[in-house]
Structure 1
Amino acid sequence: MPQLVLASASPARLATLRSAGFEPRVVVSGVDESQVSGVPPAELALRLAQLKCRAVAGGEDIASDALVLGCDSVLELDGEALGKPEDADEAVRRWQAMRGRSGVLHTGHCLRDVAGSKEAAATASTTVHFADVTDDEVEAYVATGEPLHVAGAFTVDGLGGGFVTGIEGDHHNVVGVSLPLLRGLVRELGHSWTGLWAR
């Protein structure tokens, strides 16, 4: 069976895939995300996922039968795409803007079959409802450093979980990879989802 390669440094994506039965090889793309701008948030997530996937799939050390998965997530709030905050001050401002409100987390997925030179891509979108957190809670959360490493400055599977009051859509998508969407991409490329499970 093909080797699954994750073109992402995200520990949450890796953990999600492992819990779903996979043991992917991780190869970080090194793509400069600033090269894509001026597009709507959902399209931005997809384009960045495609760039990351293609950069890794073209590497010399990638197995000829590999399936390479690139992902990228952004939070849409007031029509603006929010990735990882630049620093703690920006993370605080983000939370002051998000608290008590809802945003849409878009995750672009791009899966490339290296052997067949085929590619399938799509974006999953999940609405996230945020708690009306206090200034003290925001300061304490940002001080942990967690919000600085994730799109939208929050997690549902970590310390930020208590600040998310609900979601509409795929929970795994908010963590970083939509398993139902990925299953569809795997099947679109002619592979078996269960056949890729680590044995």
Structure 2
Amino acid sequence: MRNAEATKERILEAAMAEFSSYGIAGARVDRIAKNAGCNKNMIYIYFENKETLFITVLQKHLTRVYEEVTFTPEDLPGYAAKVFDFAIANPDLYRLLAWYGLEQKNIHLTERASVQQKKIKEVTNAQNEGLIGTTFTPGFLLTAIMALATAWTASSPYGPSYAPDALNKPNETREAIAKAVSLLAQGKENTPK
């Protein structure tokens, strides 16, 4: 049994590298098998097809994110800083998410949707308790937080192009992200006088 689990893990690791580099359409099962040191048929035995393997890899890594980056609605700036650190440390995952967004609009990730709904509910509760401003809807606020926190990943066209030196100063960038999220979370509108 250990050998089967070890083979599955090698397949998942090789698939992560392949899918994050080439997406689903460009990925090749032959390369995954070669890099995993197994027979191509083992991939089909364990995962049925390339799309199922892709979703398995993505779900595995998203679960890791949910476990390692604790969502804290009462400290959204701190949460954004943790997401930034995780995103910079895991560029393959963010390339994988970019490929998912480009290629798999019709595949619904149940766990991801559940986690997103839970976060929306927690932000709504924090707004109702007065911990977060209500200028922005929970969905908009969470989208803005994720956009800011992941803007400097390899898959983002914006952060690296507008502020190419930001990753040379990760502490300053993290602090700027946290400050921007703090301002968003306060939700105080500054109207020109």
TM-score range, shorter chain: under 0.3
**TM-score, normalised relative to structure 2:** 0.24
Greater radius of gyration (CA):
2
Q: Calculate the TM-score normalised by the size of structure 1.
A: 0.24
If each structure's helix is expressed as a fraction of its own residues, which one has the higher value? 2
Q: Which structure features the higher share of strand residues?
A: 1
